[in-house]
Structure 1
Amino acid sequence: MAEERGYAKGRARRQQILEEAVRLFGEVGYRAASLRELAQRCGLSHPGLLHHVGDKESLLLAVLAHRDAADAAETGLLAAEGADRLDALVEVMRRNASRRAIVELHCVLSAEATAADHPAHAFFAERYARTVASLVPAFPGEADPVSAARRVVALADGLQVQWLLDPDGVDMAAELSRHVAGLRGAAQAG
C-alpha cells in the first residue's frame, strides 16, 4: 500500500510538472524556458525536478506526447474515421478555447520547431504528416485529398493564432465548423 501511495504521489507530481511546463513553454517558448523557473513553479529544487523529468529535451517530448494523448482520449479524434475526423477536429478546437496555455504551447513550439536543430523538430514534422494523412479519408471525392487535408490543418493552426491575439473576437470551433460545413456542401453539390 505504501508503494501504491508513493507511485500515485509520483504520478501526481509528474502531472503537475507537465501542466506547469505547458504553461511555461507556452508563455516563453521552449528555448527561453528555464528548468529552474519550472522547478520554482512546482515547489521543487532543480535537482528534484531533474529527478522527475530527466533533462529539458525529455520534458519537452513528454509534454507534447501528453498533450496529444489527452486530446485524442477526450475528443475521440483517433477513433473517428472519414468525415467524422473533421468533426472531431472541430471538437479539439472547441476544447482548446478553454485551454489558452495548450494553444500557446502548440503555436510557439510548432514555430520554433521549424529549425532543424530544435529538439521537437522531428516530433512536429511527424505529427503534421500523421495529421494530414489522418484527414485524407475525409475527402474521398477531392481531386487532391492531401492538399485538402493540408488546407484544413493550416486553417486550424491559423485560427489558433488569431484566437490567441483576439480571444473574444475569434471562435475557432465555429469558424472551422463553418468551413467543414462548406466542404460537405461542395462535396454534395459536386
Structure 2
Amino acid sequence: MTGDERRGYAKGRAKREEILDQAMAMFGEAGYRGASLRVIANRCGISHPGLLHHFPTKESLLLAVLEHRDAVDGEWLEAGRPTGVDRLRRLVDLAALNAQRRGIVELFCVLSAEATSADHPAHAYFVERYRTSVLTTRVSYTEARDKGVLREGITPGAAAQQLIALMDGLQTQWLLSGGATDMAGVLRAHVQAQLTVPF
C-alpha cells in the first residue's frame, strides 16, 4: 500500500467514525424512525450520496452504530476476564461510566423501546443482546454462588434478570431526572444485599 493509499484509508476510516458518532447522537435524539440520513450527512459535512458510500442504507448505519457501541463497551467490560463478584462489580462500574455519556444512554433507551416492534431493524439485535446479557450475568451469579458468597435463597437466573432490568430502568430514571439518579449507587446497594462479602 502506498503512502497516498494509506492516507486515503485513514481519512475514510476517520470519516466513518465521525458518521457513527453523529448517527449515535441523532438516533439518541430522534430515534431510528425520526432520524434523517440527510441531516446526519449534513452534520458530517458530506453529501447524502457521500454518506451512502459508507453506509448504503439507514438500517446498515443503525446496526453499525449498535455494533460499534457494543465493541467499545464489551472490550472494557471483559478486560482482564473478570468472573463472579468481580464481573458484577464491572457492571456497576459500567453504570458509573454511562453517567458520563448521556448520548449513549439516550440512544440505548430510545432504540431498545422502539425495537420491541418485530418489524424494527434492530429487533433481532436487541433480542439477542438481552439474551446474552442475562446469560453472562447469570454465569457471574453462579460463580459467586459456587464460591459461597451469594446469600441463601438468591437464584442466579432470577438475580441476573433482575439486575439487567434494574440497570435499564435506572437509565430511564437517570435521563428523566436530569442525571440526579445515582445509577451506580443503587446498583451497588442491590448487589451488596445479595452477597455475603463486601461489594
TM norm. shorter chain > 0.5 = yes
2:134 aligned partner = 132
SS at match of 1:184: coil
Deviation at 1:174, TM superposition (A): 1.5
Structure 1 counterpart of 2:149: none
Write the mapping of 1:115-126 to structure 2, written as runs, cut at 5 A.
115-126=117-128
> Structure 2 unaligned runs (5+)?
146-152
Bigger Cα Rg: 2
Map of 1:103 onto structure 2:
105
The alignment-based identity, stated in percent, is 55
The CA deviation at 1:82 is 2.1
Aligned to 1:183, the other structure's residue is in SS state: coil
Equivalent residue number for residue 14 of structure 2:
12
Q: CA deviation at 1:138?
A: 2.4
Q: What TM-score comes out, normalization by structure 2 length?
A: 0.88
Equivalent position amino acid for 1:51 in 2: H
Deviations 1:70-98 (A, max 9, x none): 11223436932222221111111111111
Whole-angstrom distance in 1 between the partners of 2:177 and 2:5: 47
Q: How many corresponding residue pairs?
A: 186
In the other structure, the counterpart of 1:178 is 189
The code of the aligned residue for 1:127 comes to R
After TM superposition, the structure 1 = structure 2 runs for residues 45-60 of structure 1, keeping only pairs within 5 Å, are 45-60=47-62
Q: CA deviation at 1:19?
A: 0.5
For 2:116 and 2:179, the matched residues in 1 are separated by: 29
The residue number in structure 1 matching 2:165 is 154
Q: Which segments of 5 or more consecutive residues in structure 1 lack a partner in the other structure?
A: none
In 1, the alpha carbon distance for the partners of 2:172 and 2:48 equals: 33
| Pairing 1:67–2:78 present | no
Helix, strand or coil at the partner of 1:79: coil
Match for 1:90 among 89, 92, 115?
Answer: 92
* Contact kept? 2:174, 2:180, Cα under 8 Å: yes
Return the alpha-carbon distance in structure 2 between the equivalents of residues 173 and 106 of structure 1: 17
Aligned to 1:3: 5
CA RMSD of aligned residues (A): 1.5
Letter of the structure 2 residue corresponding to residue 152 of structure 1: L
TM-score (ref. length: structure 1): 0.92
Displacement of 1:54: 1.5
Q: 2: CA distance between counterparts of 1:60 and 1:168?
A: 26
